[in-house]
Structure 1
Amino acid sequence: MAKTTTVRIEQLRPMQATVGMLEVDAKKKRLLQLDEKALKTFLKAAPIPTVIGRGDRHYVIDHHHLARALWDGGITRAFAAVVEDLSSLSEDKFWDTVIERQWVHPYDEHGILRAISAIPDEVSALADDPYRSLAAFVRDAGGYLKTPAPFAEFQWAAFYRTRVPMWTTEYQFHAAVEQGVHLASSPDARTLPGFRKQGRK
Structure 2
Amino acid sequence: MDFNYEECTPRAQRGGQLYQLRVADLHPTQSGVGLDEVDTRAAAMRKKSRQELTAYLITHPVPIVIGNGNKFYLTDHHHLARALWDVAQGKNEAGIDAGNARVAVEVLYNWSVLKDYDFWKAMHDNAWVYLFDHTGGGPVRPDALPKHVKDLHNDPYRGLAWYVRTHFGYDKMAADFAEFQWAQFFRMRMILDNRVLRNQIDDTDILISRMSDEDRQAIIAEAVHLASSPEAAGLPGYVGRGS
TM tier, smaller: over 0.9
Considering only CA atoms, is the larger Rg found in Structure 1 or Structure 2? 2
Whether contact under 8 Å (2:229, 2:240) holds in the other structure is no
Look up the match of 1:163.
Answer: 189
What is the TM-score of this pair, normalised by structure 1?
Answer: 0.94
Whether contact under 8 Å (1:110, 1:129) holds in the other structure is yes
* Distance in structure 1 (CA, Å) of the matches to 2:212 and 2:144: 30
Look up the match of 1:46.
Answer: 60
Distance apart, 1:88 and its partner CA = 1.4
1:108 aligns to 2:133 (yes or no): yes
Whether contact under 8 Å (2:227, 2:240) holds in the other structure is no
1:30 aligns to 2:44 (yes or no): yes
Q: Over residues 122-174 of structure 1, what are the superposed CA-to-partner deviations in whole Å (9 max), with x where a residue is unaligned?
A: 10101100000000010011000101111110000000012122136233232
Structure 2 gap ranges (5+):
1-14, 89-95, 194-205
Distance apart, 1:193 and its partner CA = 0.7
Distance apart, 1:18 and its partner CA = 0.4
* Distance in structure 2 (CA, Å) of the matches to 1:16 and 1:90: 18
1:63 aligns to 2:77 (yes or no): yes
Identity %: 40
Q: Over residues 57-107 of structure 1, what are the superposed CA-to-partner deviations in whole Å (9 max), with x where a residue is unaligned?
A: 210100000000011110411111111111111322110100011111121
Structure 1 stretches (4+) deviating beyond 3 angstroms? none
1:78-93 correspondence runs (5 A): 78-93=103-118
Question: How many residue pairs get matched?
Answer: 199
What is the Cα-based RMSD across aligned positions, in Å?
A: 1.5
* Distance in structure 1 (CA, Å) of the matches to 2:47 and 2:63: 24
* Distance in structure 2 (CA, Å) of the matches to 1:182 and 1:11: 40
What is the TM-score of this pair, normalised by structure 2?
Answer: 0.78
Matched letter for residue 159 of structure 1:
F
* Distance in structure 1 (CA, Å) of the matches to 2:37 and 2:174: 18
Compare 16-25 and 107-116 and name the one that shifted more: 107-116
Residue 225 (structure 2) aligned to one of 169, 182, 199: 182
Whether contact under 8 Å (1:17, 1:127) holds in the other structure is yes
Look up the match of 1:8.
Answer: 22
Look up the match of 2:159.
Answer: 133
